[in-house]
Amino acid sequence: MRSRMSTAQTLAESGSNCKPQTTNLVGYAAFMGIANVVATNLERLMERARLKGEARLASQNGLARRAKVGQRTIGRILSREQVPSVDVLDAIARAYDLQGWQLMVEEFDPGNPPLLREASETERELWRALEEIQQKMRALERERSHHGQESKGAKDPARRIADTDRAQSRDSGRKKVAPAGRK
């Protein structure tokens, strides 16, 4: 009587090149992460449409018609079985008056979608100031590590920067005035 063998054993004995298949888990995790973010955001948009009485955008069929994509595609996206192509993502986003990239933002709020805009002059100045502070802090850290100033009396680098900046602004704002009592 012949014993029962697994398919892998049978293939191995027959000389077939049978190797277990490997899965790229990193790629799969990234795929599932994107699928989950897009599906969650689409669910939020559909719920918001339902609450606002926009029936066309609250159902899979209505959204599919408005976005001109298949209803099964919408269903697979919502069930996290499929990450939409760029074209499908863009078509769905346009149905909600959004851009495709907005549907890929985690913690998406349909009532306050993320926007891209050019920074104002004030924001650019703040950014430059922050970069300057960061450079000063790096220089102080290098100096601190170079001189071994880990003693109890060493000031925190951020505090040293603030003290230096304060002193510089005081000095630049002062008028050259003779001391009282002298002329």
Digit-coded pLDDT (tens) for 36-70: 999 999 999 999 999 999 989 999 999 999 999 99
* Domain housing 71: 25-104
Answer with the residue of higher pLDDT: 147 or 172: 147
Look at residue 176 and tell me whether its pLDDT is greater than 70: no
From the list 108, 91, 109, 112, the residue with the least C-alpha distance to 100 is 91
The rounded mean pLDDT for the chain is 78
Q: Does the residue 68 lie in any domain?
A: yes
Look at residue 16 and tell me whether its pLDDT is greater than 50: no
> Model confidence at 113, in pLDDT bands (50, 70, 90)?
confident
Examine the domain organization and report whether 36 and 96 are in the same domain.
Answer: yes
Examine the domain organization and report whether 42 and 95 are in the same domain.
Answer: yes
Answer with the residue of higher pLDDT: 178 or 61: 61
Q: Does the residue 111 lie in any domain?
A: no
pLDDT above 90 coverage of the chain, percent: 35
Q: Does the residue 15 lie in any domain?
A: no
Q: Is the pTM of this model over 0.85?
A: no
Examine the domain organization and report whether 96 and 161 are in the same domain.
Answer: no
Amino acid 21: pLDDT: 44
Examine the domain organization and report whether 30 and 100 are in the same domain.
Answer: yes
Examine the domain organization and report whether 35 and 76 are in the same domain.
Answer: yes
Residue 85 sits in a domain whose CATH number is 1.10.260.40
> Model confidence at 166, in pLDDT bands (50, 70, 90)?
confident
Q: Does the residue 115 lie in any domain?
A: no
Examine the domain organization and report whether 95 and 156 are in the same domain.
Answer: no
Q: Does the residue 137 lie in any domain?
A: yes
- For 21-55, b/e burial (b = at least 16 CB within 10 A) is eeeeeeeeeeeeeebebbbbbbeebbebbeeeebe
Examine the domain organization and report whether 87 and 30 are in the same domain.
Answer: yes
Answer with the residue of higher pLDDT: 81 or 17: 81
Ranked by mean pLDDT, which of 2-11, 110-119, 145-154, 155-164 comes out on top?
110-119
The number of folded domains in the chain is: 2
Q: Does the residue 5 lie in any domain?
A: no
Examine the domain organization and report whether 100 and 37 are in the same domain.
Answer: yes
CA distance 183 to 163: 32
Q: Does the residue 34 lie in any domain?
A: yes
Examine the domain organization and report whether 88 and 158 are in the same domain.
Answer: no
Examine the domain organization and report whether 149 and 86 are in the same domain.
Answer: no
Amino acid 110: pLDDT: 86
CA distance 42 to 88: 12
